[in-house]
Amino acid sequence: MESKLPDVGLTIFAVMSRLAQETGAINLSQGFPDFDVSPQLIDRVTHHMQTGHNQYAPMQGVLALRAAIAAKVEALYGARCDPETEITVTSGATEALYAAVTALVRPGDEVLIIEPAYDAYEPVVRLSGGRPVFVPLSFPDYRIDWDAVARSISPRTRCLMLNAPHNPTGMVLAAEDVAALEAVADRHAFYVVSDEVYEHIVFDGRPHLSMVASPMLRDRSFVISSFGKTYHATGWKVGYCLAPEALTAEFRKIHQYLTFATSTPVQMALADHLSTCDDHLTLADFYQAKRDRFRDLLAATRLRPLACQGTYFQMVDYSTVSTEADVAFAHRLTAEYGVAAIPPSVFYHDRRDDRVLRFCFAKHDHTLEEAVEKLCRI
């Protein structure tokens, strides 16, 4: 059978995690925490399972959860979203990305992708018949060049895929970024698919600047987030999408034929937790302490950490250590030194290689300490 994605193989996350498992290396590659989920949240899941909430949820999501999301969005960003017509619960953020792009993109449409980019973006665009148009972040500060974005726009441009806080670089949007996006989107009338799954992990007192907080951008945006990053529960695969009513209607037409609905007891538990707990408000402080600890430890190595403004990923420059390509160096680091990382060249369509690696610091301190002890041997 002829493949629709002939050049797509096993994702780098699976490759590096498998290599870490085979070699017994410490896995700082794939982005998942090794912390326990809140006992209160687990209790609520158990409660809803035991009280019979085990059948299909509504296609658009449990209403109590959509209402809790709406309350959070209004409290944080000053934007009112109608739980009935503007919020959809999905089986993870990746499903939401797929539904949004599929709803928007038609054969021949062009989609702007900021690189390095999460590796699901390009295949989703191609599966809808769209043509990805890539705009790289600057290096080593990883900022968006809005002039380059404007130059990349054509009459076929349908949407921009935006990710901030940004995986893998840790970049977050500044006010001038939002102003620049407003100007270029107003001039060219394209849509925005905004991946904001790390919305609560922004450091050094910076705010997260969501697309829903801009009245102009909100009207043309699909804003996607996830509970997995917020509650250390990536395996639960519960995300959501905010969009204006007309866009949500198109989004749901796709969503209903992907997963239809997401785990009922987990949705109900998340609704309870989000309505009664505000631990998402302390997540930035928690991860900033992790970032600072990891960077302090790295000072004893020959590796140079780059700026990290958000997410739980740290980009590290190894160019003074080795001239190897990042994929080769990541494999050798795993096999010979016992620490697995992600080579970011896989997030560029042309495999651009800046001799950096991405490490995940969403780990217990003793795990980070053991990992850096190994890195000191390089």
- Could you give the domains of the chain? 12-30+281-375 (3.90.1150.10), 39-277 (3.40.640.10)
What is the arithmetic mean of pLDDT over 351-369?
A: 97
Give the CA dihedral 206, 212, 215, 216, nearest 10 degrees: 90
Q: What is the pLDDT of residue 140?
A: 96
What is the arithmetic mean of pLDDT over 101-109?
A: 97
pLDDT digits (tens, 9 = 90+) for 116-126: 999 999 999 99
CA separation for the pair 173, 296 (Å, rounded) = 25
Q: 343: which 2 tokens?
A: 């080579």
- Give the other-Cβ count within 10 Å of 55's Cβ: 7
Q: What is the pLDDT of residue 208?
A: 98
Query: DSSP character for 235?
Result: G
pLDDT bucket at 16, cuts 50 / 70 / 90? confident
Q: What is the pLDDT of residue 6?
A: 84
Q: Using an 8 Å Cβ cutoff, are 333 and 340 in contact?
A: yes
CA separation for the pair 172, 203 (Å, rounded) = 9
pLDDT digits (tens, 9 = 90+) for 228-241: 999 999 999 999 99
Residue 9 has pLDDT above 80, yes or no: no
Q: What is the pLDDT of residue 263?
A: 96
Please report, as a single letter, which amino acid is at residue 376: C
pLDDT bucket at 11, cuts 50 / 70 / 90? confident
Q: What is the pLDDT of residue 105?
A: 98
Residue 227 has pLDDT above 80, yes or no: yes
What is the arithmetic mean of pLDDT over 211-220?
A: 96
Residue written as tokens 């700082």?
28
Q: What percent of the chain has pLDDT over 90?
A: 92
pTM of the model: 0.96
CA separation for the pair 231, 61 (Å, rounded) = 18
pLDDT digits (tens, 9 = 90+) for 154-213: 999 999 999 999 999 999 999 999 999 999 999 999 999 999 999 999 999 999 999 999
CA separation for the pair 145, 147 (Å, rounded) = 5
